[in-house]
Amino acid sequence: MLFKAGVILPGTPLVPALAEELVDVYTSYNICTLPPYTLGCGAMPARDGPDYRYAAAYAGDAVFIANRRLQCQTWAAAGVPAYCFRFAAQPNGLNIYSGVPHFQEVAFVFDNIMGVGYAVSIPFHVQNDG
């Protein structure tokens, strides 16, 4: 079991001083640029709370995005080829509050243009051009 209800990844508590610093940094960002990027300057549903997008930005960076950057910088600094991507094409079936979350690139990687395994929302009816 990888995930358990109630746990936010990365799941490692940080000391309060570092948490405060991270909050200062992330709340200084232009909210229109934060996840979900499909929302732009629109508003999330009220139930998510006014600071939802700042926390989502931090969570994404902490779980995969910053990590990928460090790996790619490390490989490049050692002279080893590293081809690194940010996947930003929203497949069919997701709404503006979802952006391009986890797993959505998989249908593209496997060229699953027929939507095999998808009961609804065939991914390749792409809504935007990424």
Partner 1 sequence: MLNECFYSGSAVGFQLLAYGGRNDSVITRAIMESGNSVPYRGSYGTDYYQPYYNTIVNNTGCANAVDTLSCLRALPFNTLNAAVNTSAAGLWFPTVDGDFIRKYASIQMSNEEFLHVPIISGANTDEGISFGPAVVNSTAEFAQDIESMYHCCNSR
Binding to partner 1 in span 32-51, by CB under 8 A? 35-38, 47-51
Minimum distance between the CB of residue 117 and partner 1, rounded to whole angstroms?
13
Integer Cα distance of 65 and 59 in angstroms: 9
Binds partner 1 by CB under 8 A, chosen from 10, 40, 42, 117: 10
Integer Cα distance of 18 and 107 in angstroms: 38
Minimum distance between the CB of residue 34 and partner 1, rounded to whole angstroms?
8
Minimum distance between the CB of residue 13 and partner 1, rounded to whole angstroms?
5
Integer Cα distance of 31 and 51 in angstroms: 9
- Alpha-carbon distances, residue 119 vs 3, 114, 115, 116 (angstroms): 24, 11, 8, 8
Residues 65-94 vs partner 1: string with x where CB under 8 A? xxxx-xxx-xx--x-xxxxxxxxx------
Residues 14-33 vs partner 1: string with x where CB under 8 A? xxx-xxx-xx--xx------
Tell me the three state secondary structure of residue 78: coil
